[in-house]
Structure 1
Amino acid sequence: MTTLLIADRDPNERTGISWLVSTCAIPYDRVLTAGTVTELLRALEAERPDVICIELDMVPKEDWERLKLLTSLYKPTVVVTTLEATFERALQGIELHAVDLWLKPQSPEHIRRTLTRCCQERMARGTARVEQADSLGSALSYRSLFLPLESPGKGLRLMLLQLEDTDKHGELLNFLETYPFREKPVLLPLSDVIVCIFSEEKDTPLSAGQEIGKRLLMDWEEQHAEPLSLVLYDSTDEMLSLNQKYRYAVEALDIRFFKGYRQISTVQNKVNWAVIDPFLTPAEQRAWVDMLHDGDREQLKQWMYRQFLHKAEPYPEPGLLRIRLTSILAQVRRFMKSQGLDEGALEEKYLRVFDTILYTPVLYRIVQDLLLFIYELLDSVTIHRDEARLDIVEQAIRYLEENYARADLRLEEVARHVDRSPAYFSSLLTQRHGVSFRQLLTTIRLREAERLLLSTRLSVQEVAERTGFVNANYFSKIFKEKSGTTPRSFRNQKKREKS
């Protein structure tokens, strides 16, 4: 199928040439028209016409480079038209590799002959292109990729495509087999990547290959949700074999570790990874211990972002960064152990994060998962510490309730019982109950004293002795301060209320 595109601002010109093509039986299967440069560029990308007639006067300077790139990429036969017989217009025609320049008005006969010749040449070129593609396909095979001296790489450009879910490479292969490439590549699918080999003319710019990659990526994402990454390898070294180009291109696939999917990476030489020390220095280890114990989430996040995100070329070797991430995880592990949290659900999540560091193909996802795990760990530490504080206070209260009758019971003894310093235990008790140790002990003793006064016939002296007070006078004084009455009056009043 041969397609003609007529791009002219004058609707009469577009209509006239279209009519001429149809009435003279020039064998174009389709005739398209464009009245603006935007329509022209869109038609070039979407329809990829075989022959185009372009009015040079309709193309502004800011769109000229784009037009040159698209004509270089899709290689249509170009005819240019203009009202200005100037050197500048002739030079523009040369830049587009135009086969003819029409000065308006042009005779219908000349237009007919030119378009007929262009159509016939395109049809002949299409037949030759199919034969060339068949020849290229028969010359290139898996042996070409994997045997060092099997095939020269001169004139061959590689594009490697890889889905995040490699199990769906069958869908990607089907997509590529039906994709409307201008020059059909040889497709060699492997278990984790699909290799496209293009035969390129000597002067084809690298930007043309980039344009193919961008368009392919865009078209894939319009139809599929699975993330795709591309590597375009086009070395200037004509001595490289196809196997060498393939090995360098495969190594460049790891650039997605930094750039993520839905990207195209263009490389022209072997990737030179930057060398870094993957292990934390003693100062960095101390910094991590301090940040974890302080629970400073913002500081932890900023440290991780500085170390791992927004990297510029040359990128560090991905394997070394994975080692560095495991060194950080080792510090997190020590912190877990120090807090008694190295078991149960957190332990399982720790192991999953370890697998993430080793196998996840994109760096920012590893950083995100590691930070989320650290945040969850810090939350668990807070809960664990609160529970520990609660247990300590409850243990102390139970000890007081069992030993309140001893007049020599002191703060130091109770703190020693819960394995804390007196100052720390006293502060913890105040935070939890809002009272001092002495106030809590007195409250427990007075509560028991009230019970004994109401349920027994013990004297005030005996009640004081059984509740840990030094003597009856001190007991009566404290009792009156708290309840507003003496122990004897309290007993008599409660008896009268019952009777």
Structure 2
Amino acid sequence: MTTLLIADRDANERTGISWLVSTCAIPFDEVVTAGTASELFRVLEGTRPDVVCVELDMVSKEQWERLKMLTSQYRPTVIVTTAEATFERAVQGIELHAIDLWVKPQTPEHIRRVLTRCCQDRTVARKASEVQTDHYGSAVSYRSLFLPLETPGRGLQLMLLQLEETARHGDLLTFLETYPFRDKPALLPLSDVIVCLFDLKNEAPLASLLEVGKRLLMDWEAQHSESLSLVLYDAEDQMLSLHQKYRYAVEALDIRFFKGYRQISVVENKVNWAVIDPFLTPAEQRAWIDMLHDGDREQVKQWMYRQFLHKEEPYPEPGLLRIRLTSILAQVRRFMKSHCLDEGALEDWYHRVFDTILYTPVLYRIVQELLLFIYELLDSATTNREGARLDIIEQAIRYLEENYARADLRLEEAARHVDRSPAYFSSLLSKRQGVSFRQLLTTIRLREAERLLLETRLSIQEVAERTGFVNANYFSKIFKEKRGTTPRSFRNQKKSNKS
């Protein structure tokens, strides 16, 4: 039985999606709903639904880790919904391994298409239990792939094949069933990949499998235009179960994120992704603000190429790179708002780029789409610069970020810069940012002070002078008040943590 859980605070949303499932004959056997996070957790643990459509805004920060744990434990297909496509929501969707992010209001046709695909995929995975018996007599089945210790993996080599258009996997399966293999593999087709299991009894099975893969890829491309990628897997540790081998091989499919399609990836062990910090540092954020406001296309392009293209093994985990790209998009969003470009065709393009970052399977395509979008923004900003009504608060924040080192910087000067009275500017800042001028300036200064403490050997006095504090004593007092520790302790603690 295939079950769908709709978790949303809005009763109309729950009713609407339930009605859509029934009227469009989407083949779920059962649809259950939850209107609160508590109900969501209870249904996840009690019903264990196959597909979960969850509104991110209903889950508080305190409840987030529990939701991650439950989805990791029960492994449903997850779809996330939100009222606004923000950087934070994108990160949450990636953490839940969501297959789609719906920004409300979402079209009924898109909802129908995604839910139908999810239902079909889960049904195939559940019902596909026919056992194939290979030529050396041992039973190989879908259970072998998905259940630990079900089947020993000794002597078995895996080949995973994936088309860019997974809807065409029927054509690929027909091609494989009639292909003249010397050693016929067991074929286990899934919704997004086809698994071939070989038993190559020779001294170099992986080398033999590589030759098979090269010949197969060449023959496929001679007859079809759809892009194909292959992963060949034969673990050095022959004590691994077939389930473990399959899991490691599926992880290796993500190598196409860097290599693209029409490639063969050879893996002999578990893929060890490099760990990176996905978020932009304060210095990188400032660099992006400067590049965008200067309209420097070449610098933007070179920065993107250095960061994302021509990667070598060990590759960074693709999910972390997606988060880093959305972090860049957050700075682009800020630029759009400051130049009043967040509307019309550019706003629609922004949302398309957002989806591209989350779901496009190949990195260089994401980079190309993001660069084209940025170039268009820079052109529009240049065209409208004279007549554009720049956002007052964004102008003021940029002014503070450029002049925070001056100890005599005052509210009156910032207000004069944006051509507003001090009283009006102060009121607008408090309403828009929720902080006073002094609090905002202190936050900017402390952020820069933290960077200098960590990245330089400047004395506390020098750090204070460079960040606009009148003296070291006042700097230390404010730093401890806001950060809970002294500047010196902060520096020493961070150094000890790194070591």
Q: Secondary structure at the match of 2:149?
A: coil
Aligned to 2:230: 230
Kindly provide the amino acid, as one letter, of the partner of residue 185 in structure 1.
P
Kindly provide the amino acid, as one letter, of the partner of residue 147 in structure 2.
L
Aligned to 1:342: 342
Aligned to 1:194: 194
Distance (Å, rounded) in 2 between the aligned partners of 1:143 and 1:284: 48
Q: Secondary structure at the match of 2:385?
A: helix
Within 5 Å, which residues of 2 pair with 1:256-275?
Answer: 256-275=256-275
Q: Secondary structure at the match of 2:215?
A: helix
- CA shift, 1:204, in A, is 2.9
Aligned to 1:176: 176
Contact 2:133 2:139 in 1 (8 A): no
Q: Secondary structure at the match of 2:157?
A: strand
- CA shift, 1:203, in A, is 1.5
Q: Secondary structure at the match of 2:269?
A: coil
Offset from partner CA, 1:72-128 (integer Å, 9 cap, x none) = xxxxxxxxxxxxxxxxxxxxxxxxxxxxxxxxxxxxxxxxxxxxxxxxxxxxxxxxx
Distance (Å, rounded) in 2 between the aligned partners of 1:164 and 1:135: 31
Offset from partner CA, 1:290-310 (integer Å, 9 cap, x none) = 000010100000000000000
Aligned to 1:214: 214
Kindly provide the amino acid, as one letter, of the partner of residue 265 in structure 2.
S
Aligned to 2:244: 244
Within 5 Å, which residues of 2 pair with 1:115-126?
Answer: none
Cα 1:137–1:333, aligned 2, differ >3 Å: closer, same or farther? Answer: farther
Offset from partner CA, 1:43-87 (integer Å, 9 cap, x none) = xxxxxxxxxxxxxxxxxxxxxxxxxxxxxxxxxxxxxxxxxxxxx
Distance (Å, rounded) in 2 between the aligned partners of 1:339 and 1:134: 64
Contact 2:161 2:230 in 1 (8 A): yes
- CA shift, 1:382, in A, is 1.3
Offset from partner CA, 1:297-329 (integer Å, 9 cap, x none) = 000000000000000000000000000000000
Distance (Å, rounded) in 2 between the aligned partners of 1:313 and 1:419: 53
Q: Secondary structure at the match of 1:336?
A: helix
Contact 2:275 2:317 in 1 (8 A): yes
Distance (Å, rounded) in 2 between the aligned partners of 1:343 and 1:243: 49
Aligned to 1:326: 326
Contact 1:161 1:228 in 2 (8 A): yes
Distance (Å, rounded) in 2 between the aligned partners of 1:200 and 1:384: 66
Contact 2:340 2:388 in 1 (8 A): no
Distance (Å, rounded) in 2 between the aligned partners of 1:257 and 1:134: 33
Distance (Å, rounded) in 2 between the aligned partners of 1:321 and 1:158: 28
Cα 1:133–1:212, aligned 2, differ >3 Å: closer, same or farther? Answer: farther
Contact 1:325 1:357 in 2 (8 A): yes
Within 5 Å, which residues of 2 pair with 1:233-312?
Answer: 233-312=233-312
Kindly provide the amino acid, as one letter, of the partner of residue 188 in structure 2.
L
- CA shift, 1:136, in A, is 4.8
Within 5 Å, which residues of 2 pair with 1:455-470?
Answer: none
Structure number with larger C-alpha Rg: 1
Within 5 Å, which residues of 2 pair with 1:118-157?
Answer: 134-136=134-136, 139-157=139-157
Aligned to 2:401: none
Distance (Å, rounded) in 2 between the aligned partners of 1:388 and 1:366: 29
Kindly provide the amino acid, as one letter, of the partner of residue 358 in structure 1.
L
Contact 2:134 2:186 in 1 (8 A): no
Cα 1:150–1:419, aligned 2, differ >3 Å: closer, same or farther? Answer: closer
Offset from partner CA, 1:389-446 (integer Å, 9 cap, x none) = 9xxxxxxxxxxxxxxxxxxxxxxxxxx9x979xxxxxxxxxxxxxxxxxxxxxxxxxx
Q: Secondary structure at the match of 1:155?
A: coil
Contact 2:229 2:256 in 1 (8 A): yes
Distance (Å, rounded) in 2 between the aligned partners of 1:358 and 1:300: 21
Aligned to 2:368: 368
- For normalisation by structure 1, the TM-score amounts to 0.51
Distance (Å, rounded) in 1 between the aligned partners of 2:343 and 2:134: 62
Aligned to 1:158: 158
- For normalisation by structure 2, the TM-score amounts to 0.51
Cα 1:366–1:137, aligned 2, differ >3 Å: closer, same or farther? Answer: farther
Distance (Å, rounded) in 2 between the aligned partners of 1:138 and 1:203: 21
Distance (Å, rounded) in 1 between the aligned partners of 2:205 and 2:193: 25
Contact 1:155 1:202 in 2 (8 A): no
Distance (Å, rounded) in 1 between the aligned partners of 2:291 and 2:358: 24
Distance (Å, rounded) in 2 between the aligned partners of 1:321 and 1:219: 34
Q: Secondary structure at the match of 2:196?
A: strand
Q: Name segments (4+ residues, structure 1) moved above 2 Å.
A: 132-138, 386-389
Distance (Å, rounded) in 1 between the aligned partners of 2:307 and 2:259: 15
- CA shift, 1:387, in A, is 4.4
Q: Secondary structure at the match of 1:158?
A: strand
Cα 1:188–1:303, aligned 2, differ >3 Å: closer, same or farther? Answer: same
Offset from partner CA, 1:364-393 (integer Å, 9 cap, x none) = 00000000000011111111125449xxxx
Root-mean-square deviation (CA, aligned residues, Å) is 2.0
- CA shift, 1:135, in A, is 4.2
Kindly provide the amino acid, as one letter, of the partner of residue 359 in structure 1.
Y
Contact 1:273 1:317 in 2 (8 A): yes
Contact 2:157 2:206 in 1 (8 A): no
Unaligned runs of 5+ in 2: 1-131, 390-415, 421-499
Cα 1:202–1:215, aligned 2, differ >3 Å: closer, same or farther? Answer: closer
Aligned to 1:53: none
Contact 1:136 1:186 in 2 (8 A): no
Unaligned runs of 5+ in 1: 1-131, 390-415, 421-499
Kindly provide the amino acid, as one letter, of the partner of residue 221 in structure 2.
E
Q: Secondary structure at the match of 2:272?
A: coil
Within 5 Å, which residues of 2 pair with 1:386-465?
Answer: 386-388=386-388
